[in-house]
Structure 1
Amino acid sequence: MKRESLLSRKLLLITPVFPPKGGGGVQRILKFAAYLRQHEWETTVVTRNFGEKIRWHDDSQLGLLPQESVIRIGEFVRHTSFIRRVVGRLAPIDSDYFWSRQVCQELPNFLKGDYDAIMSSGPPHSVHLIGQRISKKYRLPWVADFRDHFTLNPEYRPSSALHRKSDQRFERSILDASKAIICNTRINRREMIRRFGLHYHTKLHTIHNGFDRNDLAEAGTGLKADDQFSPSDCNLVYLGGLRGGRIDDSFFSVLESIGDMKFSRFNRILVHVFGDAGKRTELCTTLVKRGAVKLHQAVPANRMRAVLEQADGCVAWQSNKPQYRGTVPGKLYDYLAMEKPVFFLGQSNGEADRILRSFNLGRTAVPGNVNAGKEQLFQFVESLGIEHYRFLQQERYPVERFSRQFQAGQLATVLDSILVD
């Protein structure tokens, strides 16, 4: 099934997440598939059908790939019942293991023509089982894309010691069988080398998440009346869904502590959350009632600029666990592209903090210290509008390295290299 010609190369890309499902992970894979064509790679995406059960629908990007370039196998299933949750917890690797097995069985019936390479993108990381088996069956070079860590993820909680051992063995088999591994941050790449061995370093590459200038260029899509911002408020935007629990409350506790503090330029801070708020905490609900937080529906990709242009600044947060040093909230790249100042509650000297500091575009406070966070947030708001955060474009570290088009070129370079090997 492998092709010999390099003039018209074809990639089979396996992903459990794809439009009409919205979200940052979806955008990464969609834009890889769309912009690889600029580098002489034609992509066929293998994903699943999404009904009405997904929380975030975004139909605005469906036209980026021809319909015939997308193969859909199986259905997205939300594990809401007790039995489904138990089965999902006990499944090997993760709850999508059964979808991965279904794809392995049915995909050969859909494949037409020859392919030059295969790529799988997780989480969920059971998708790499498809990449592994199809690669072996058709003798195709395989790239595994880790949009987040697998067993090194700070939120990784296996159901048993047996699951942990099996998962670690599976992750090492991915490193052994694949021709290349894509990590989403530099720190995550270094952590994988540290855990699995220096001899894998030539296989491991870094391609960050990013932004798409084409999405952010669409300024003509206006906002609903309810989404308009008041100029007397300090309007801070948070793009993305709420996760619930202590991670969200680490920020909302800081926001609550601000209370009735007086600002020189604004009446108050109002944080606008654009995304799924179904998991909001009691503290978040309290702040909504007090007028410190306003909840909005998720923003389609072609409306992000309309939202961000109104914002005085943006916010992002993560857990206070040191293991989060290598994670970067996906929304941070859109803030960066729009040159919006960012208040970031996260790991000092972590990857996100380093990116913000390199462009002089934000202030970082360490999660868990409410008083220090309160002071940092107050100073951040006071600094807005006086050109304190003046965007610095770096010659050696340009912001365009985070553009989806540039990153598709990075991926094409990796794909070209595994063909030569």
Structure 2
Amino acid sequence: MHKKALIITYYWPPAGGPGVQRWLKFVKYLPDYNIQPIVYCPKNPSYPIVDESLTKELSKDIVVLKQPIKEPYKLARLFSKKAASTISSGVIPKEKKQSVIEKVMLFVRGNFFIPDARKNWVKPSVDFLTDYIQKENIETIITTGPPHSLHLIGLQLKQKLDVKWIADFRDPWTTIGYHKKLKLTKASQLKHQDLELKVLNSADQLIVTSENTKREFEFKTNQPIAVITNGYDTTISEKPKKDSKFTIAHIGSLLSERNPKHLWEALSELINENEAFKADFELNLIGVVSDDVLQEIYSHNLKDYTNVVGYVSHDDAIKAQMQSQVLLLIEIDSEDTKAIIPGKLFEYMISNTPILAIGPKDSDVERIIKSTNTGAYFFYEANNTLKSQILTYFNAYKENTLVTQPIGLKPYSRKELTKTLSELI
């Protein structure tokens, strides 16, 4: 007999972006391990990104429960559609470039909606799920955040029903980069920290996506913590041909602080110094790109070599990864981002395309790329080795030998990761 697991998530198809894919894939494979997943999600959400292509992965046999949610971002769009969309998608402008409306929205978001803008969904969800869990004899509930308000649903259900509760943290809570930009008062900061501690110390099992987050949480709780990263699950049967040009592509959001100036300098210098590079080079930015990053790129005379594609479906993103000659992975250079592992990393790793990564020292991304032999990792300090690596990739491209030789990728497959999850359930 299948064991039932109730998964409480905000992001679910047709939501786009990496937040939805983690649990979409877990739900896909859990039945293979004798676990029946039941998904609970909003009926009328306000998703910043929509990707209808993900709906085709939904099995007709999966039970999906939906309840209405009141979305403050819908109201915020009445005042400023652009500001509301920007903030809800996570692309927060630098403070000196924030409009008055953006500053007010960030203050309201940080101090009146704790832990986040979906807090008003907690009570109606607890009321609905209390009856459902008892009626269906569900023994295990799983909450996944962000939004971390969903963990408060788990906390209250645990207190009322004493079910087994697994809290999945796709990102940290109080130490994630954007948390510091919310213009929090001291009282609000303390409230976030208090709620975080209650969740960490009440859940029966914690799941995190990186070793750095596990180490952070171990200072705050004695509850068991498992690391289950995101992973890959390729659905494209026929690989597309590689681009004819030397394309370096970044796929995903490029926030204001994901802006390695020495990379743009290196590319500009190679164009000026190498005629062959100048003739073949192309920079493709696929996804949301902040104005700050674009201005920096253009200031290095790279505008004529840059294609800003915008958001594409997940299927098209996979194809772009396989078609490109080199894949860029850029993370903010801070202590807080050492624990962030972009979901696209694992798809990058199986694309047969070398990764050129830039981020903080001692990050989980650095460890994974080096251990799997899937690319090269650099820090934000300017040095000639980054430029040399790009030139090495370019020379291999000219010789038609630009391929990767990855090792140890199987543990990152979605099915293997779901097996680990099933053992915790």
Q: What secondary structure is seen at the aligned counterpart in 1 of 2:41?
A: strand
Matched-pair contact (CA < 8 Å) for 2:357–2:377? yes
Offset, 1:115 = 1.1
> What letter matches 2:199 in structure 1?
I
1:12-56 C-alpha deviation (Å, 9 max, x unpaired): 1111111111111110011111211111111111112456x6442
2:238 alignment counterpart = 219
Offset, 1:386 = 6.3
Please provide the CA RMSD for this pair: 2.9
Q: What secondary structure is seen at the aligned counterpart in 2 of 1:291?
A: helix
1:227-274 C-alpha deviation (Å, 9 max, x unpaired): x9851x21122221232x232354545544544231656724312122
Distance 1:24 1:143 in 2: 20
Q: Which of 252, 259, 265 is equivalent to 1:248?
A: 259
Distance 1:170 1:253 in 2: 44
2:413 alignment counterpart = 403
Offset, 1:99 = 2.6
Offset, 1:372 = 5.8
1:127-164 C-alpha deviation (Å, 9 max, x unpaired): 10011112332321000000011112233226111122
Cα 1:348–1:264 change in 2 (3 A) is farther
Q: Which moved more, 1:182-191 or 1:254-263?
A: 254-263
Relative to its length, the structure with more helix (as a share) is: 2
Distance 1:290 1:237 in 2: 15
Matched-pair contact (CA < 8 Å) for 2:51–2:314? yes
1:93 aligns with 2:115: yes
Q: Which moved more, 1:16-25 or 1:267-276?
A: 267-276
Q: Which of 280, 287, 295 is equivalent to 2:308?
A: 295
2:246 alignment counterpart = 234
2:41 alignment counterpart = 47
Distance 1:296 1:128 in 2: 35
Q: What secondary structure is seen at the aligned counterpart in 1 of 2:213?
A: helix
1:315-337 C-alpha deviation (Å, 9 max, x unpaired): 11011113322222221111101
1:311 aligns with 2:324: yes
Q: Which of 131, 145, 160 is equivalent to 1:122?
A: 145
1:60-90 C-alpha deviation (Å, 9 max, x unpaired): 2214133862222224553443576554222
Gaps of 5+ in 1: 1-6, 223-227, 416-421
> What letter matches 1:274 in structure 2?
I
> What letter matches 2:12 in structure 1?
F
Offset, 1:92 = 1.9
Distance 1:67 1:277 in 2: 38
1:155 alignment counterpart = 178
Distance 1:117 1:272 in 2: 44
Distance 2:155 2:269 in 1: 50
Alignment of 1:12-411 (within 5 A): 12-49=6-43, 54-63=47-56, 64-66=58-60, 69-75=63-69, 76-78=71-73, 79-80=76-77, 81=79, 82=101, 86-90=107-111, 91-108=113-130, 113-157=136-180, 159-193=184-218, 195-197=219-221, 199-200=222-223, 203-213=224-234, 215=235, 217-219=236-238, 231=244, 233-243=245-255, 245-248=256-259, 250=261, 252=264, 255-256=267-268, 258-262=270-274, 267-277=279-289, 281-284=294-297, 290-369=303-382, 373-384=386-397, 387=401, 390-393=404-407, 398-411=408-421
Cα 1:319–1:372 change in 2 (3 A) is farther
Q: Which moved more, 1:150-159 or 1:123-132?
A: 150-159
Cα 1:357–1:10 change in 2 (3 A) is same
Matched-pair contact (CA < 8 Å) for 1:367–1:373? no
Gaps of 5+ in 2: 80-100
Cα 1:50–1:299 change in 2 (3 A) is farther
Q: Which moved more, 1:361-370 or 1:16-25?
A: 361-370
Q: What secondary structure is seen at the aligned counterpart in 2 of 1:260?
A: helix
> What letter matches 2:122 in structure 1?
S
Q: Which moved more, 1:308-317 or 1:381-390?
A: 381-390
Cα 1:389–1:302 change in 2 (3 A) is closer
Q: What secondary structure is seen at the aligned counterpart in 2 of 1:18?
A: coil
Distance 1:26 1:410 in 2: 19
Matched-pair contact (CA < 8 Å) for 1:87–1:95? no
Matched-pair contact (CA < 8 Å) for 1:320–1:368? no
Cα 1:129–1:141 change in 2 (3 A) is same
Cα 1:219–1:263 change in 2 (3 A) is farther
Distance 1:366 1:148 in 2: 22
Q: Which moved more, 1:156-165 or 1:172-181?
A: 156-165
If the length of structure 1 is used for normalisation, what is the TM-score? Answer: 0.82
Distance 1:372 1:321 in 2: 21
- Number of residue pairs matched? 390
Distance 1:254 1:367 in 2: 12
Q: What percentage of residue pairs aligned between the two structures are identical?
A: 20
Distance 1:190 1:392 in 2: 27
Matched-pair contact (CA < 8 Å) for 1:236–1:312? yes
1:327-355 C-alpha deviation (Å, 9 max, x unpaired): 22221111101232011011233211121
1:369-421 C-alpha deviation (Å, 9 max, x unpaired): 2766444434443444564764142xxxx202111111111110111xxxxxx
Distance 1:284 1:110 in 2: 53
> What letter matches 2:68 in structure 1?
G
Q: What secondary structure is seen at the aligned counterpart in 1 of 2:27?
A: helix
Cα 1:343–1:12 change in 2 (3 A) is same
Distance 2:107 2:277 in 1: 52
Q: Which moved more, 1:175-184 or 1:372-381?
A: 372-381
